[in-house]
A = this chain, B = another copy of it.
Amino acid sequence: MAEEKDFALLTDLYELTMCASYFDNKINDTATFDLFIRDLPPNRSYFIAAGLEDAFNYLKNIRFTEEHIKFLKSKKIFKDDFLNYLKNFKFTGDVFALPEGTIFFPNEPILSVTAPIIEAQIVETFLLNAINLQTTIAIKASRVVYAAKNKPVIDFSLRRTQGTDAGMKVARTSYITGCVGTSNVLAGLKYKIPIYGTMAHSFVMAFEEEEKSFGAYSKTFPDTSIFLVDTYDTLKGVEKAALVAKELKKQGHKLKAIRLDSGDLVALSKSARKILDKNGLKYVNIFASGNLDEYKVEELLKKGALIDAFGVGTAMGVSKDAPYCDVVYKLVELNNKNKHLPTMKLSKGKVTYPGKKQVYRITDKNKNYIKDILALRDEKIDGKELLVKVMEKGKIIYKMPSLEEIRNKTKENLLKLPEKYKKLKNAAKYKVEISPELRKMTEKLNKKLSFD
């Protein structure tokens, strides 16, 4: 695993070799790089900015240690003067960013970094890694929460997330985007996220009879038990859970829920509800889990499943149907010999918009989103500016919101995104206009570069 003190080396080698060559050629003009996503992944219709806090902390703290320098020296790739430069390396640039929880769209910068080109280049890989994971999960989790309508969704993904860091970030991001909590205990400690748990099949199997396992568990947790009922025969399991629940009731306690984890959840939830109700256990909730994702949750509710809460694991935790975003970090301006030179590349299918930019959001009188305008930063456009200056000369000048504040803001933002953009499939395409000035600059530069 990568420890925080080693994040400076958590980079592609080419960032360092390019910087060595800039250094060698005495090039350190001020550069602006935009971090943005080219395209929407399949079935996605919006992005949610996430991972910014990690990005800022990285930029604030990046340092090359003695061990790093020694290692780089041992590779015999770099000259000593560059390694000496790295010893004192700090990020001293300015950063504009979309606050976490901001809804955004393709080509809109999430981060825009302006710094001496060596500094701006060296941070590329880590920034992409940080933003990619959390933004990918933010969209996925928000879709699951949307599908569940107002029923609680809990993140159950830790066992199958891609590594330990992802386990933490998925808990954080899914909480930001509307999950009510996570099964990940460490995320509870580190992020103060509510933690939830039920029981596993092994617990039921550890007792000679299913009913005894329920009895033993509720002895320990008389008011918070959730019985897993599908280890052998689901409906027989529900009957046994009901028996134990009635015993608990006599003692003044309430079974919290039963959990269904396999089989036809629509039919089983209806039958389970009947069994519970007939036993006077209307207050016992039905919790569902087992290979769920937004598509299955939507279908279950559409078919009338009587499910009160969902535990969603793997498919959300790895964003199964779209496990990454096409996030890139592109040079858009270079301050060369006191001229501001916008830049762009022309590689097939990969054209980028040049220049320092701002994203303007146009809303109706209720603040519902209508469209965005991607413009040059110094253009005057009527609309809400989405990119906020978060770092100046390497210092964070932005008050980091708490996780609860980000979560509330995200909820508010999602409410302002009209329904037609939130459908799980075939959602409407949100309009992002290119401003006249940005369009002009792009065309001019395109011509210039094509004829060079």
Contact = CB atoms under 8 A, between A and B. Distances in A.
B165 A20 contact: no
Contacts of A205: 331, 334, 343-345
Given A24-B220, A167-B129, A162 B323 contact: yes
Contacts of A1: 1-2, 4, 164-165, 168-169
A199 B124 CA distance: 13
Interface stretch (A92-100, A179-187, A381-389, A399-407): A179-187
Given A156-B12, A347-B230, A449-B232, A2 B124 contact: no
A10 B346 CA distance: 45
Interface string A200-231: 11111110111000001101110010000011
Contact of A2 (B125, B165, B203): B165
Interface in A132-173: 132-133, 136, 156, 158-169
Interface in A1-25: 1-4, 6-7, 9-18, 20-22, 24-25
A27 B206 contact: yes
Contacts of A17: 197, 199, 217, 220-221
A412 to B, nearest CB: 27
A43 interface: no
Interface range on chain A (Cβ under 8 Å from partner): 35 or more
A330 B12 CA distance: 39
Nearest to A350: B262
A167 B10 contact: yes
Given A219-B24, A347-B230, A18 B200 contact: yes
A444 interface: no
B11 A185 contact: yes
* Max count, chain B CB within 10 A of own CB: residue among A18, A162, A200: A162
Count copies of this chain in the complex: 2
A135 to B, nearest CB: 11
A31 interface: yes
Interface in A397-451: 449-450
A129 B161 contact: yes
B10 A164 contact: yes
A16 B347 CA distance: 53
A394 interface: no
A67 B186 CA distance: 11
Contact of A231 (B124, B161, B345): B345
A15 to B, nearest CB: 8
A3 B3 contact: yes
28 contacts: A1-B2, A1-B165, A13-B183, A13-B185, A14-B200, A18-B200, A20-B220, A21-B199, A24-B216, A27-B206, A29-B206, A68-B189, A75-B195, A121-B202, A124-B200, A129-B160, A129-B161, A129-B164, A129-B167, A160-B327, A163-B163, A166-B166, A208-B336, A232-B449, A233-B450, A262-B350, A318-B323, A323-B323
Which 7 A-B residue pairs are closest in the complex by CB-CB distance? A13-B197, A163-B165, A14-B197, A162-B162, A165-B165, A202-B331, A128-B159
